[in-house]
Chains A and B, each alone.
Chain A
Amino acid sequence: MAGSPIAFRLDPASGVPTYLQLVQQVEHALVLGYLKPGDQLPKVREAVADLAINPNTVLKAYRELEHKGLASGRPGQGTFVQAGLSQATLPELAGLRRALLEWLADAEAAGLDANAVSAVFASTLRDFSERREAESPRGARKVRGRTAGGAA
Chain B
Amino acid sequence: MNILETEALGRRYGGTWALRDCSLAIPEGHLVALVGPNGAGKTTLLNILVGLTGATTGNVSVLGGIPVGSPAALDAIAFVAQDMPLYRHLTVADTLHLTRNLNHDFDGAYARARLRDLGIAEKHRAGKLSGGQQAQLALTLALARHPRLLVLDEPTAPLDPLARHDFMATVMAAMAEDGLSVILSSHGLAELERVADYLVLIAHGVVRLDAPVDDLVARHRVVTGPVGEQNDPRWQVVESTAAGAQQHLLVRLQGPNDHVPDGWESRAAGVEELALAYLRESSVPTPLVPVEASR
Chain A residues with CB under 8 Å of chain B are: 10, 15, 17-18, 44-45, 48-58, 134
A-B contact count (CB 8 A): 50
Interface string of B169-183 (1 = CB under 8 A from A): 110110111000000
Interface string of B1-41 (1 = CB under 8 A from A): 00000000000000000000000000001110000000000
The smallest beta-carbon distance between A91 and chain B, in angstroms, is: 35
Closest CB pairs A-B (n = 4): A55-B176, A52-B168, A52-B169, A48-B172
Q: Are A48 and B176 in contact (CB under 8 A)?
A: yes
The smallest beta-carbon distance between B256 and chain A, in angstroms, is: 9
Q: Are B169 and A50 in contact (CB under 8 A)?
A: yes
Residue of B nearest to A45 (CB): B176
In this assembly, does B105 line the interface, its C-beta being within 8 Å of a C-beta of chain A?
no
Q: Are A48 and B29 in contact (CB under 8 A)?
A: no
Indicate the member of B176, B194, B197, B258 with the most A CB atoms within 10 Å.
B176
The smallest beta-carbon distance between B259 and chain A, in angstroms, is: 9
Contact pick for B270, options A15, A44, A45, A51, CB 8 Å: A15
In this assembly, does B196 line the interface, its C-beta being within 8 Å of a C-beta of chain A?
yes
Q: Are B175 and A55 in contact (CB under 8 A)?
A: yes
Contact pick for A52, options B165, B177, B270, CB 8 Å: B165
Contact pick for A54, options B166, B197, B258, B270, CB 8 Å: B197
Please, could you name 7 A-B residue pairs with CB atoms under 8 Å apart, sorted by A? A10-B194, A49-B169, A51-B194, A52-B169, A53-B172, A54-B175, A55-B176
In this assembly, does B195 line the interface, its C-beta being within 8 Å of a C-beta of chain A?
yes
Chain B residues 167-220 with CB under 8 Å of chain A are 168-170, 172-173, 175-177, 193-197
A50 to B166, CA, bound (A): 9
A52 to B168, CA, bound (A): 5
A7 to B177, CA, bound (A): 19
A18 to B271, CA, bound (A): 12
A143 to B258, CA, bound (A): 24
Q: Are A48 and B270 in contact (CB under 8 A)?
A: no
Chain B residues 225-284 with CB under 8 Å of chain A are 258, 270
Beyond A53-B195, A55-B176, 12 extra complex contacts between A and B, CB < 8 Å: A45-B173, A45-B176, A45-B177, A48-B175, A49-B169, A51-B169, A52-B195, A53-B194, A54-B31, A54-B194, A55-B172, A58-B176
Instruction: Tell me which residues across on chain B come within 8 A of A15, comparing CB atoms.
Output: 270
A15-B270, A54-B31, A56-B29 known; A48+B173 contact, CB < 8 A: yes
Q: Are A56 and B194 in contact (CB under 8 A)?
A: no
Residue of A nearest to B196 (CB): A54
Indicate the member of B165, B172, B193, B194 with the most A CB atoms within 10 Å.
B172
The smallest beta-carbon distance between A37 and chain B, in angstroms, is: 25
Chain B residues 29-56 with CB under 8 Å of chain A are 29-31
Instruction: Tell me which residues across on chain B come within 8 A of A134, comparing CB atoms.
Output: 258
Residue of A nearest to B29 (CB): A56
A44 to B175, CA, bound (A): 10
A52-B169, A56-B29 known; A18+B176 contact, CB < 8 A: no
A96 to B270, CA, bound (A): 33
Q: Are B30 and A56 in contact (CB under 8 A)?
A: yes
Q: Are A44 and B169 in contact (CB under 8 A)?
A: no
Instruction: Tell me which residues across on chain B come within 8 A of A45, comparing CB atoms.
Output: 173, 176-177
Instruction: Tell me which residues across on chain A come within 8 A of B177, comparing CB atoms.
Output: 45
Q: Are B193 and A17 in contact (CB under 8 A)?
A: yes
Indicate the member of A10, A17, A44, A54 with the most B CB atoms within 10 Å.
A54
A15-B270, A45-B177 known; A52+B172 contact, CB < 8 A: yes
Instruction: Tell me which residues across on chain A come within 8 A of B170, comparing CB atoms.
Output: 49
A18 to B195, CA, bound (A): 10
Instruction: Tell me which residues across on chain B come within 8 A of A52, comparing CB atoms.
Output: 165-166, 168-169, 172, 194-195
Residue of A nearest to B257 (CB): A134
Instruction: Tell me which residues across on chain A come within 8 A of B172, comparing CB atoms.
Output: 48-49, 52-55
A15 to B217, CA, bound (A): 14
The smallest beta-carbon distance between B86 and chain A, in angstroms, is: 23
A49 to B197, CA, bound (A): 17
A134 to B258, CA, bound (A): 9
Instruction: Tell me which residues across on chain A come within 8 A of B194, comparing CB atoms.
Output: 10, 18, 51-54, 57
